[in-house]
Structure 1
Amino acid sequence: MSQKPHIAIIGSLNMDIVVEADRPPMLGETVMGKQVHFIPGGKGANQAVASARLGAKTTMIGAVGNDAFGQELILAMRHEGIDTEAVKTVSDSPTGVASIVLAQGDNQIIVVAGANEACLPQDLTTQEDRIADADLVLLQLEIPLETVVSAAKTAKRLGKTVVLNPAPARPLPDELLQNVDVLIPNESELFLLAGVEAGHDIESAMRSLLNKGVQTVVTTLGAKGAAYLSESDGAGFVPSHSVQVVDTTGAGDSFNAGFSYAYATGCSVADSVAFATKVAALAVTRLGAQAGMPTLTQVEEFNRE
């Protein structure tokens, strides 16, 4: 890797309430849990921590409530060396919460947005200097869509690379896609955005998004790896790495941050995807989305194994 990039993440901050159980409950059923954990999370904050652990200068833009969870989230990010001056505190909404059931090596998640809904387009105007200072802007969909659109347009106007992780899945306007350099959906998100049924040919689905203005699409395929299609780098596939899975909660976030870090240093799409698969492989071997994010040294050591 070359110089350390500056990555600005505009997105959500949540407190993850993680309940461990032997199996998830069926509808209407009660099961006994084994443990409960209160873990800093939110897709935006997770990606910021992953970025900072890799060594990037990292700026977080978002919103929390004026409560204990909000204070804890900001302190956790500052502990990672993340610039949190652009995280505003609102008094009329609680901090966002994600309720996560962790069972049988997988998870089920319900997110309550809370203060994340107060991350608004006008906040970007006051933080434009921070966006202008970044090399790359990383976005997700746990804040209002109008804010995501505004962020992408602002970043492009300022000449920045825009990476969008379109999760949670929802249809997106062409106005947003036309301002995205790299789109990183999972398989189901890809099919939704392409307007095709599950099981459709992945490459043609990615091609349909390139036709809408996206420059590169990288589709994460879980344990199989990741496929990509790019105007500049063509098509390719990178297999995943075999590891002992402990918690998949932060897998997608670690992949997005890993790709963004590598891409911002000047790596090709293929090399950035390969780097991201290593980051994600390491992240799922530990409990907690943020706690599991690896350092650059750990990724480099994994590289040599």
Structure 2
Amino acid sequence: MNEKEALILKLIKEDPFISHFDLAAKADLPGDRVAGYISSLMKQGKIVGRAYVLPEQRQVLCVGGANIDRKIWSKGVLELGTSNPAESSKSCGGVARNIAENLGRLGSGVSVLTAVGEDHEGHWLMEYTRAFADVAPSEILKGHSTGTYTAVLDQEGEMTVALAEMSLYDSITPEFIDRKWSYFASSDFIMLDTNFPADVLNRIIERCRKENIQLCITPVSSPKAKKLPHDLLGVTWLIANKDEAEAISGIKIETEGDFFRAAETIIHKGVEKVVISRGDKGLIYFTEKGEAGVLIPPAISIIDVTGAGDSLVAGIIYAHLNRIQTEDACKIGMACSILTLQSIETVNPILNNQQLLETFKQNFK
């Protein structure tokens, strides 16, 4: 922002309803120059919309998927090729949306940038999510169906197969992101999943790097992780599971040492901090500053694994925003994940600051 832009922004902050004529007079500038500076300030996210509306500060912007989660539980040992007795449920899901809800329940200021279809499911997703996050950045796309994710779980609550129908995300373009950039620029921290096309992911990573905006990436799956560019310079956190880390690093992970080799390779791509989850074996973390460690989770009874990875990411972001060091941030992420594992819901409805603190103390102190 140059000196004249700073002056115009100061005048608008003092009087958001100031006229274009008065702006030109007080800034000692011709009207067309004022219009140019206003346009530049809007592109930077310093002001939004007409009448010089100043943006609300959004602590975290979660960018990516919001869809309908369908879960089907087998009542007994799952047998392929035949009918299995089962129960089912439907809930709001999507990686970015789930993380936003977790953060919202923890009291963080959070907004969601996603796309849903112009259908009953899309409207339901937006209405439900609005209770925990600002959904103003999101878009309802005409002629598209809202994405769905169907998980089949065995009698132990472990996922055996999942089916995703999310073709509407293919319609998201870099130009769509540019139009929405004021929401990025007015946020402290961006959380990005990999549901959007590769060129869109690349645009977000590039612009966050150039504008020095903190960015956390969590891949949705191993195939979608491959959409990430080779250059990840400027990414603050990358949080992945074993399969996703293999896809990003190109390293086959078979031993504990392989986890750290994969993490180090990802660090060399430009990421500051890498976390690789290992299911019931916990996680490893590795940073550009040489911090490294293994965290083993406590033994707990698991009701449902769906959403556990999303809550891990939310807990780590929550801790990071509260300036908590890497190891303890990962422990807080694991505590958040434990709460999800002990709930039938994708986001545990009892989650709040106090519940997270109690779970952390019970398991990591």
- Whether these two folds match at TM > 0.5 is yes
Report 1:146-295 matches (<5 A): 146-170=199-223, 171-200=226-255, 201-232=258-289, 234-291=291-348, 294-295=351-352
Does the aligned pair in 2 maintain the 1:258–1:276 contact within 8 Å?
A: yes
The 5-angstrom pairing of residues 119-130 of structure 1 reads: 119-130=172-183
- 1:117 correspondence with 2:170: yes
Q: SS of 1:247's equivalent?
A: coil
Mean Cα deviation higher: 21-30 or 214-223: 21-30
Alpha-carbon distance between aligned partners in 1 of 2:99 and 2:350, rounded to the nearest angstrom:
9
Structure 2 equivalent of residue 97 of structure 1: 148
Instruction: State the aligned residue count.
Output: 300
Identity of aligned residues (%): 22
Q: Which has the higher contact order (CA 8 A, sep 6+)?
A: 1
Q: Distance in 2 between matches of 1:194 and 1:151?
A: 20
Instruction: Read off the aligned partner of 1:290 and give its amino acid letter.
Output: V
Q: Which structure 1 segments of 5+ residues have no match?
A: none
The CA distance in 1 between the partners of 2:270 and 2:345, in whole Å, is: 35
Distance 1:106 1:269 in 2: 29
Q: What are the superposed Cα offsets for residues 204-253 of structure 1, whole Å, 9 maximum, x if unpaired?
A: 11111111212211111111211111012511122213322111100100
Contact 2:72 2:89 in 1 (8 A): yes
Does structure 2 conserve the Cα–Cα contact (< 8 Å) formed by 1:40 and 1:290? no
| Deviation of 1:142 (Å) | 1.9
SS at match of 1:37: strand
Structure 2 matches for 1:51-66, cutoff 5 A? 51-66=103-118
CA contact (8 A) 2:246 2:262 kept: yes
Q: Distance in 2 between matches of 1:219 and 1:269?
A: 13
RMSD between aligned residues? 2.0
Deviations 1:135-191 (A, max 9, x none): 111111122222222222222222211111122113245455224221111112212
* Residues 125, 174 of structure 1: alpha-carbon distance in 2 compared, 3 angstrom cutoff: closer
Displacement after TM superposition at 1:303 (Å): 2.7
Check the 8 A contact 2:60/2:187 in 1, yes or no. Answer: yes
Partner of 2:31: none
Cα displacement (A) at 1:26: 4.7
Structure 1 length-normalised TM: 0.92
Quote the Cα distance in structure 1 between the aligned partners of 2:187 and 2:289.
22
2:234–2:271 CA contact under 8 A, matched in 1: yes
> Of the two, which has the highest radius of gyration?
2
Indicate the residue corresponding to 2:198 in structure 1: 145
Q: Secondary structure at the match of 1:223?
A: helix
Distance 1:137 1:176, change over 3 A: farther
Deviations 1:44-91 (A, max 9, x none): 1111111111111011001000001001100110122x1101110011
Return the letter of the residue paired with 1:250: G
- Tell me what 2:3 maps to: none
TM-score (norm 2): 0.77
Aligned partners of 2:289 and 2:350: how far apart in 1?
A: 29
SS in 2 for 1:249: coil
The one-letter amino acid paired with 2:218 is N
Q: What CA distance in whole angstroms lies between the structure 2 residues aligned with 1:173 and 1:46? A: 21
Are residues 1:17 and 2:70 paired?
yes
Per-residue deviation, 1:264: 2.0
Structure 1 residues 19-28 or 63-72, which shifts more? 19-28
Offset, 1:105 = 1.6
Rate the CA distance shift 1:24–1:217 in 2: closer, same or farther, 3 A. Answer: farther
Match of 2:23 in 1: none
Deviations 1:98-140 (A, max 9, x none): 1111222212311110333333322222222221121111111
* More moved, 125-134 vs 43-52: 125-134
Tell me the alpha carbon deviations over residues 17-57 of structure 1, each in whole angstroms, 9 at most, x when there is no partner.
11121247554332121x22110001111111111111110
